[in-house]
Amino acid sequence: GAEEFWIPSLFESRERVRASKALSIAGGQLQIPQGDIGEVLRVIREAPAEITYHVHFDCAPGRTFAVPESALVSCLELPGVSA
């Protein structure tokens, strides 16, 4: 409702992002390589520790992943260049 506290996020829905490190699901069955590009589908601000995103990655079409904000960088940032 109107009284809920807004938690700012680095990314919003439909924004293109890159994995800042290699990611794997439980059991290590599927891995998202560092630098792979994806699209934010949804911002989850209710996560207890940090903002989480539902992301589709190009290397895993049709799959949706819950990814913490700390594991993503903007596609506008160049690989290997620190801000």
**pLDDT for 1-51, tens place per residue?**
556 677 889 999 999 999 999 998 877 777 899 999 999 999 998 867 789
Between these two residues, 79 and 8, which has the higher pLDDT value? 8
Residue 23 · residue 30 · CB < 8 Å: no
The length of the chain in residues reads: 83
The single residue listed with the structure tokens 């799959």 is 63
Helix ranges (DSSP H) in the chain: none
The single residue listed with the structure tokens 């903002």 is 51
**Whole-prediction pTM value?**
0.81
Measured CA to CA, the distance from residue 16 to residue 28 in angstroms comes to 24
